Structure 1
Amino acid sequence: MGSFSSTYLDIEYQAIPRVLAAHWRRGVMPFELQRGYKAMLDEAVSRRCRFWLINLSGRASGVSAADLQWILEEFFPQLPLRLRRPVYIAYLMAPHQLAGSLADPNVPNAAYYDDRSYRIERFTVQEEALAWLQDCRQQDAKIRRRKTA
């Protein structure tokens, strides 16, 4: 059982592969979305985990423009402040969800995150998402070693 479980979201820390895993179980109201994301961040801080897998496949629809704005402008900027280093988030989506997010002009493309202290990628296959997170972990470790050398 995860540290947070509700009718709309389950969160658990997976020691192997050292990832915070969150699974949205259904579409949510704005207050549930905010509560869920805040619970993810609190769990990540308690575990000092900067590598997240967020499964959106249980949601029938995407988020509203207002919810997306909250995520982009209020939530994501908190990540490096609370976790003190870059954060990596792999979103796992059903193929139709990914197509919808790529077509939505309100959803930033991957280049949007290039100069930020958090990285976001979208996937339809969990193994690919986990491989990306592992690669991010390795790249992050190389950068930290160079800074301390």
Structure 2
Amino acid sequence: MPVFSTPYLEIYHDAPRQILTAKWLRGVMPFELHRGYHALLDQAVERDCRFWLLDIRRRACIDSSDVLWTLNEFLPQVYPRLKRPAYLAFLMAPHHLAGDLADGRVPDPAYYNERPYRNERFTDKEAALEWLQHCHQLEEVAR
């Protein structure tokens, strides 16, 4: 059962694994994207959950301006609200990932090494979940 739901986004909390899943249900307008990401951050703060699976496979088109808004406007808000690093696994359709990789405005994963959040892109849900679990284990060891 979702902890948050709109016609374009459902957010689920997997308490045992400490993962929030944001499942986009269709393409969205910019204001919906912004509201959805802010709802995700609110849920993350409420549940103290820093491991996120963002399923964007159903979004018909991922505009680079949406990606840039996420990078430049949204992600800088995550650490100040959560007070700890966040880990974001983006689950993408293969053609979205190919477009993302070809877009020179979208940074490669090394860009995130100096940020208070980590971001990886996947086309396989199990690989995304494994990465999140690995990040969680590394955090536990570091304590």
Please name the residue that 1:8 is paired with: 8
Please name the residue that 2:43 is paired with: 43
Cα distance, 1:17 vs structure 2: 2.2
**Between the two proteins, what is the percent identity of the paired residues?**
56
Aligned AA (1:10): E
Name the CA distance, whole Å, in 2 between partners of 1:113 and 1:71.
Answer: 13
Unaligned runs of 5+ in 1: none
Runs of 4 or more, structure 1, over 6 Å off, are none
Please name the residue that 1:18 is paired with: 18
Q: Secondary structure at the match of 1:57?
A: coil
Name the CA distance, whole Å, in 2 between partners of 1:54 and 1:33.
Answer: 12
Contact 2:68 2:106 in 1 (8 A): no
Verify: 1:34 aligned to 2:34, yes or no: yes
Q: Secondary structure at the match of 1:114?
A: helix
TM-score calculated relative to the size of structure 1:
0.92
Aligned AA (2:84): R
Post-superposition Cα deviations, 1:51-77, rounded to whole Å, max 9, x if no partner, equal 000001111111342x32221112101
Post-superposition Cα deviations, 1:35-54, rounded to whole Å, max 9, x if no partner, equal 00000000000000000000
Please name the residue that 1:112 is paired with: 111
How many residues are matched?
Answer: 143
Name the CA distance, whole Å, in 1 between partners of 2:63 and 2:111.
Answer: 18
Cα distance, 1:113 vs structure 2: 0.3
Aligned AA (1:86): P
Cα distance, 1:16 vs structure 2: 3.3
Name the CA distance, whole Å, in 2 between partners of 1:141 and 1:100.
Answer: 35
Name the CA distance, whole Å, in 1 between partners of 2:63 and 2:3.
Answer: 24
Name the CA distance, whole Å, in 1 between partners of 2:97 and 2:51.
Answer: 20
Cα distance, 1:8 vs structure 2: 0.8
TM-score calculated relative to the size of structure 2:
0.96
Aligned AA (2:2): G
Name the CA distance, whole Å, in 2 between partners of 1:3 and 1:134.
Answer: 21
Unaligned runs of 5+ in 2: none
Please name the residue that 1:93 is paired with: 92
Contact 2:93 2:123 in 1 (8 A): yes
Instruction: Tell which deviates more after alignment, 8-17 or 108-117.
Output: 8-17
